[in-house]
Amino acid sequence: MALARLVLASGRPVDLAELRLSSTYGDLQDGYPCKPLNDLRIRDLLHTAERSRPGTPVHLVPPRREYPDQYAGGLGPVEVLPAVACLGTFHSAALDPARDPVAYRSRLTVVWFQSTPRLPSGCDAEPALRDLDWAVLARDAPAPP
Protein backbone atom coordinates (compact mmCIF):
# COMPACT_ATOMS: atom_id res chain seq x y z
CA MET A 1 0.00 0.00 0.00
CA ALA A 2 1.33 3.45 -0.91
CA LEU A 3 1.98 6.15 1.68
CA ALA A 4 0.90 8.86 -0.74
CA ARG A 5 0.20 9.45 -4.40
CA LEU A 6 1.71 12.28 -6.41
CA VAL A 7 0.80 13.34 -9.89
CA LEU A 8 3.88 14.56 -11.70
CA ALA A 9 3.84 17.60 -13.97
CA SER A 10 3.85 15.12 -16.89
CA GLY A 11 0.52 13.75 -15.60
CA ARG A 12 2.01 10.40 -14.52
CA PRO A 13 0.77 9.20 -11.11
CA VAL A 14 3.50 7.87 -8.83
CA ASP A 15 3.10 6.19 -5.46
CA LEU A 16 5.37 6.87 -2.51
CA ALA A 17 6.11 3.36 -1.25
CA GLU A 18 8.69 4.16 1.44
CA LEU A 19 9.81 7.37 3.14
CA ARG A 20 12.60 8.06 5.61
CA LEU A 21 12.80 11.48 7.22
CA SER A 22 15.72 12.74 9.26
CA SER A 23 16.88 16.02 10.68
CA THR A 24 19.40 17.62 8.34
CA TYR A 25 21.54 18.77 11.26
CA GLY A 26 20.35 16.46 14.04
CA ASP A 27 23.79 14.93 14.54
CA LEU A 28 25.77 18.17 14.24
CA GLN A 29 27.75 18.36 17.47
CA ASP A 30 30.70 20.53 16.51
CA GLY A 31 31.04 23.13 13.83
CA TYR A 32 28.31 24.83 11.89
CA PRO A 33 26.32 24.28 8.69
CA CYS A 34 28.64 24.95 5.76
CA LYS A 35 29.23 23.70 2.23
CA PRO A 36 31.70 20.89 3.13
CA LEU A 37 29.37 19.57 5.85
CA ASN A 38 26.31 19.84 3.59
CA ASP A 39 28.06 18.09 0.69
CA LEU A 40 29.06 15.26 3.05
CA ARG A 41 25.46 14.95 4.34
CA ILE A 42 24.14 14.76 0.77
CA ARG A 43 26.76 12.18 -0.24
CA ASP A 44 25.90 10.05 2.82
CA LEU A 45 22.18 10.17 1.96
CA LEU A 46 22.89 9.13 -1.63
CA HIS A 47 25.01 6.18 -0.43
CA THR A 48 22.25 5.15 1.99
CA ALA A 49 19.72 5.30 -0.85
CA GLU A 50 21.90 3.17 -3.12
CA ARG A 51 22.44 0.54 -0.41
CA SER A 52 18.79 0.42 0.68
CA ARG A 53 17.41 -0.39 -2.79
CA PRO A 54 20.13 -2.04 -4.91
CA GLY A 55 19.28 -1.90 -8.59
CA THR A 56 16.89 1.04 -8.18
CA PRO A 57 18.14 4.29 -9.67
CA VAL A 58 18.75 7.15 -7.24
CA HIS A 59 18.11 10.81 -7.98
CA LEU A 60 19.02 13.89 -5.93
CA VAL A 61 16.72 16.88 -6.11
CA PRO A 62 19.28 19.68 -5.69
CA PRO A 63 18.52 21.35 -2.36
CA ARG A 64 17.94 25.02 -1.78
CA ARG A 65 21.00 26.49 -0.03
CA GLU A 66 20.69 29.64 2.06
CA TYR A 67 23.50 31.88 3.19
CA PRO A 68 22.49 33.75 6.35
CA ASP A 69 24.55 36.77 7.34
CA GLN A 70 26.52 35.02 10.09
CA TYR A 71 30.17 34.81 11.02
CA ALA A 72 32.09 32.47 8.71
CA GLY A 73 34.43 30.07 10.44
CA GLY A 74 37.40 28.13 9.13
CA LEU A 75 35.23 26.00 6.82
CA GLY A 76 33.82 28.94 4.90
CA PRO A 77 30.52 30.78 4.96
CA VAL A 78 27.48 29.48 6.81
CA GLU A 79 25.33 27.52 4.35
CA VAL A 80 21.98 26.13 5.48
CA LEU A 81 19.90 23.38 3.87
CA PRO A 82 16.19 22.85 4.63
CA ALA A 83 15.60 21.23 8.02
CA VAL A 84 14.35 17.79 6.89
CA ALA A 85 16.30 15.32 4.76
CA CYS A 86 14.04 12.91 2.85
CA LEU A 87 14.75 9.57 1.20
CA GLY A 88 11.75 8.17 -0.65
CA THR A 89 11.12 5.27 -2.99
CA PHE A 90 8.45 5.83 -5.62
CA HIS A 91 6.68 3.32 -7.90
CA SER A 92 4.53 3.75 -10.97
CA ALA A 93 3.29 1.78 -13.95
CA ALA A 94 5.96 0.21 -16.14
CA LEU A 95 7.64 2.58 -18.57
CA ASP A 96 7.60 0.00 -21.35
CA PRO A 97 3.96 -0.48 -22.39
CA ALA A 98 4.82 -3.96 -23.69
CA ARG A 99 5.57 -5.19 -20.15
CA ASP A 100 2.92 -6.96 -18.12
CA PRO A 101 1.40 -4.19 -15.93
CA VAL A 102 0.91 -6.60 -13.03
CA ALA A 103 4.39 -8.12 -13.16
CA TYR A 104 6.39 -4.90 -13.71
CA ARG A 105 6.55 -1.45 -12.14
CA SER A 106 8.86 1.46 -12.71
CA ARG A 107 10.68 2.70 -9.64
CA LEU A 108 12.97 5.45 -8.47
CA THR A 109 14.54 6.41 -5.15
CA VAL A 110 14.73 10.15 -4.57
CA VAL A 111 16.70 12.20 -2.05
CA TRP A 112 15.39 15.70 -1.34
CA PHE A 113 15.18 18.27 1.42
CA GLN A 114 12.12 20.11 2.70
CA SER A 115 11.40 22.60 5.45
CA THR A 116 8.85 20.50 7.38
CA PRO A 117 8.40 16.80 8.22
CA ARG A 118 5.14 16.53 6.26
CA LEU A 119 4.31 13.70 3.93
CA PRO A 120 4.58 14.79 0.29
CA SER A 121 1.19 14.31 -1.28
CA GLY A 122 -0.76 15.58 -4.24
CA CYS A 123 -0.26 19.26 -4.98
CA ASP A 124 1.40 19.86 -1.60
CA ALA A 125 4.58 18.06 -2.63
CA GLU A 126 7.74 20.04 -3.28
CA PRO A 127 7.61 21.43 -6.82
CA ALA A 128 10.91 19.72 -7.66
CA LEU A 129 9.32 16.35 -6.82
CA ARG A 130 6.36 17.01 -9.11
CA ASP A 131 8.80 18.00 -11.88
CA LEU A 132 10.72 14.69 -11.88
CA ASP A 133 11.36 13.42 -15.42
CA TRP A 134 10.12 9.92 -14.62
CA ALA A 135 10.69 8.52 -18.11
CA VAL A 136 14.39 9.44 -17.93
CA LEU A 137 15.12 8.77 -14.25
CA ALA A 138 13.07 5.65 -13.35
CA ARG A 139 13.67 2.04 -14.35
CA ASP A 140 11.33 -0.89 -14.87
CA ALA A 141 11.73 -3.85 -12.53
CA PRO A 142 9.68 -6.88 -11.51
CA ALA A 143 6.95 -5.89 -9.08
CA PRO A 144 7.44 -7.11 -5.52
CA PRO A 145 5.41 -10.21 -4.65
Q: How far apart are CA 93 and CA 138, in angstroms?
A: 11
With 80 as the cut, is the pLDDT of residue 123 above it? no
Q: For residues 107-120, give the mean pLDDT.
A: 93
* Length, in residues, of the chain: 145
Percent of the chain with pLDDT over 90: 70
Q: Beta-carbon neighbour count of residue 98 at 10 Å?
A: 6
List helix spans (H) across the chain: 35-52, 127-130, 134-137
pLDDT of residue 138: 97
Paired strand residues for 142: 104
pLDDT of residue 1: 63
Read off the pLDDT of residues 14-46 as tens digits, 9 standing for 90 and up: 999 999 999 999 877 777 899 999 999 999 999
With 80 as the cut, is the pLDDT of residue 135 above it? yes
With 70 as the cut, is the pLDDT of residue 129 above it? yes
Q: How far apart are CA 125 and CA 121, in angstroms?
A: 5
pLDDT of residue 101: 87
Q: What is the DSSP letter of 31?
A: S
The set of residues, in sequence order, having a beta carbon less than 8 Å from that of 8 and lying 6+ positions away, is 14, 130, 131, 132, 134
- List the chain domain ranges: 4-129
CA angle 1, 123, 89 (to 5 degrees): 40
pLDDT of residue 18: 94
Read off the pLDDT of residues 65-108 as tens digits, 9 standing for 90 and up: 999 988 888 888 999 999 999 999 999 999 999 999 889 999 99
Identify residue 48 by its one-letter amino acid code: T
pLDDT of residue 29: 72
